[in-house]
């Protein structure tokens, strides 16, 4: 419980810092959207580029683990998207799908795995991070871009979506990183330092931006939907991954434990970035991130207790 609390508390501190800065007037009403644009256009693409540029594809070949987290995460995204699509726009349904399936692996998962399962679990956390922030995130962006198109012609829709995707910094960053990894070229030390500094700003800035947004909005009207998404994230996601990891696919025990622990994490800031970037309603997403982070104190602790019992 204390190890989980120690990792989660800095998240609340950063959100609280943004909230207090807005409430006290230190930062103005446009601070949330402008800070989020900095994350989307500069910091997060740099982080994704850095992650993908250092990928060693042979080391990441764990078919059972990839299948378990892939089917568990994408399956939950598709299920949530299908349910929410009946009552909301496709773009909003896609963001809600991320609210239910996008785990905060980078900021919470990596240190939590190291603290509870040992250094051997960091490879699993790294693979999960790449899958979440690149594959799941990219798929959601494609769905959003497609849903926002108004062209009736299929050819024009495909062309417009392709043009938007090519210009999207959240896809361009990891794509360039893959290109560097495939060619095997080393970046100059000055450029690598620049990318690391810029990428390191993505998570704290996104959390401060979330606090700024919460200081502006009331969450009363979206509590019901957000709590449904929290239940999907903290209960359905780990349960589905547990079923796949322990009863469907074969993998070493540590990898199976890591898969379930990582799926039990709260919602990350990625959905909020997209909601703000595409000018969609972000109140539900903000509440889902906040409540799932609080709830994860109990869900993650319960899973670790059950794990130690077995």
For position 256, what pLDDT does the model report?
92
d(CA 291, CA 266): 8
pTM beyond 0.85: the answer is no
For position 116, what pLDDT does the model report?
78
For position 131, what pLDDT does the model report?
85
Tens of pLDDT, residue by residue over 177-221, are 888 888 878 888 899 999 999 988 887 887 888 788 778 765 555
For position 97, what pLDDT does the model report?
94
CB 241 within 8 A of CB 214: no
For position 308, what pLDDT does the model report?
67
Question: Which pairs from 118-124 meet CB under 8 Å and 24+ separation?
Answer: 118/254, 120/254, 121/254, 121/257, 121/258, 121/261, 123/59, 123/60, 124/62, 124/65, 124/254, 124/255, 124/258, 124/259, 124/262
Nearest to 18 by CA among 299, 284, 308, 272: 272
For position 96, what pLDDT does the model report?
93
Domains with residue ranges and CATH for the chain: 2-309 (1.20.1530.20)
For position 309, what pLDDT does the model report?
60
Q: Which stretches in the chain have pLDDT values below 70?
A: 1-5, 7-8, 55, 57, 59-60, 106-107, 111, 119, 150-165, 217-222, 308-310
For position 239, what pLDDT does the model report?
94
For position 80, what pLDDT does the model report?
94
1 SS3 class = coil
d(CA 206, CA 8): 15
d(CA 191, CA 180): 13
Tens of pLDDT, residue by residue over 260-298, are 999 998 898 888 888 888 888 788 888 888 888 888 888
CB 40 within 8 A of CB 169: yes
């Amino acid at each position: 419980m204390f190890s989980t609390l120690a990792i989660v508390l800095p998240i609340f501190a950063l959100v609280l810092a943004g909230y207090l800065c807005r409430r006290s007037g230190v930062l103005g009403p446009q601070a949330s959207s402008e800070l989020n644009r900095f994350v989307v256009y500069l910091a997060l693409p740099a982080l994704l580029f850095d992650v993908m540029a250092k990928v060693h594809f042979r080391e990441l070949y764990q078919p059972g683990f990839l299948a378990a987290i892939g089917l568990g995460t994408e399956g939950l995204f598709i299920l949530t998207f299908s349910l929410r699509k009946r009552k909301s726009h496709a773009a909003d349904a896609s963001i809600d799908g991320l609210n239910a399936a996008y785990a905060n692996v980078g900021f919470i998962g990596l240190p939590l795995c190291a603290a509870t399962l040992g250094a051997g679990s960091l490879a699993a956390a790294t693979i999960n991070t790449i899958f979440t922030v690149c594959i799941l995130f990219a798929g959601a962006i494609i769905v959003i871009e497609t849903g926002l198109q108004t062209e009736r012609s299929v050819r024009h829709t495909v062309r417009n979506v392709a043009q938007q995707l090519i210009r999207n910094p959240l896809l361009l960053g990891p794509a360039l990183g893959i290109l560097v990894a495939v060619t095997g070229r080393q970046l100059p030390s000055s450029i690598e330092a620049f990318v690391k500094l810029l990428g390191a700003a993505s998570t704290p800035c996104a959390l401060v931006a979330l606090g700024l947004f919460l200081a502006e909005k009331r969450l009363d009207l979206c509590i019901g939907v957000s709590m449904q998404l929290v239940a999907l994230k903290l209960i359905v996601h780990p349960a589905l991954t547990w079923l796949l990891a322990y009863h469907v696919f074969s993998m070493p025990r540590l990898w199976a434990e890591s898969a379930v622990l990582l799926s039990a994490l709260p919602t990350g800031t990625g959905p909020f970035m997209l909601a703000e970037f595409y000018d969609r309603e972000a109140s539900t997403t903000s509440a889902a991130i906040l409540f799932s982070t609080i709830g994860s104190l109990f869900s993650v602790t319960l899973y670790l207790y059950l794990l130690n019992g077995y």
